Amino acid sequence: MKEEIAAAVFFVARLVKRYGCLDNDGRDRFAAALTSVLFENYKNHWHPNAPTKGQAYRCLRMNRVRLRDPVLQQACERSAVCYEDLGLPQELTVWVDPGEVSCRYGEHSTPFSVSVLDGCRRGDGEFSRRIHDAVERASLDVPLGSSSDEDEVPPTNPQPKTIPTVSNPNSVYRVGNLCFYIPMRKAFAGDVFTSHAPPGGGPISQFPSQKGFKTYRATFTFTGPRVDKYHWVSKSRS
């Protein structure tokens, strides 16, 4: 646990040195206080045989919901430094697990390893290089002082969605629900429209009058039985 806490404190101190506004004395006091607070909080939640057990407790986390991590806040109070002077990102998560220290910038980013304690000790070149690479990654994932949720701004004037045309007869979009314009048939000379007054002198209806009957004209006149040269028809038929 000693090496893992040392790696986590060294990593946070490097972030404060690069992006914060504390002097050397303030950073040293903060690092010493953070080391003491981490030992006090993690000593009963350290399980080398099950590294993932208690991982949520051994976590330094800041986001839009919890702006300040209580462990870092406690370290600031002990070292008499202002929390805002640390200059840490608004969204930062640091996991301190047996054998590994990992970090995530932003709530939707992919976690990465800060230091894997596979024999390298604090003071080794490899240990310092890993911490340096993790600090450099802070400027690549999420800018300091910003939030990943701030990038997800909805458009001010979203385009209206159009309903697609469906040719399936079983679809819910029925053709019968649509209205079509049907032109009226032209009136002919043979059409007669008569208006009828309402019975009893009532008000005139707002609906158009019914179509009248078409008049019929005979085109020929019946003059009697047909007579031709091959047939004779008696006119005195009883």
Q: What angle do CA 106, 112, 114 make, to 5 degrees?
A: 110
Q: Tell me the average pLDDT across 195-201.
A: 54
Helix ranges (DSSP H) in the chain: 2-19, 24-42, 70-79, 125-136, 138-141
- Whether 231 is in a domain gets the answer no
- Whether 52 is in a domain gets the answer yes
- Whether 97 is in a domain gets the answer yes
- How many domains does the chain divide into? 1
- Whether 29 is in a domain gets the answer yes
- Whether 138 is in a domain gets the answer yes
Q: Tell me the average pLDDT across 90-117.
A: 88
Helix (H) or strand (E) holding 93: strand 92-97
Contact, 68 vs 62, CB < 8 A? Answer: yes
- Whether 39 is in a domain gets the answer yes
Structure tokens at 45: 């939640």
Answer with the residue of higher pLDDT: 228 or 53: 53
Tokens 């946070």, residue located: 12
- Whether 96 is in a domain gets the answer yes
**What per-residue confidence (pLDDT) applies to 87?**
93
Is pLDDT of 192 > 70? no
**What per-residue confidence (pLDDT) applies to 228?**
56
Its domain, for residue 14, covers: 2-148
Res. 109 pLDDT band, cuts 50 70 90: confident
- Whether 203 is in a domain gets the answer no
152 φ/ψ sector (left φ>0, alpha ψ -120 to 50, else beta): beta
Answer with the residue of higher pLDDT: 31 or 152: 31
- The mean of the pLDDT values for the chain is 72
Question: CATH number, domain at 140?
Answer: 3.90.640.90
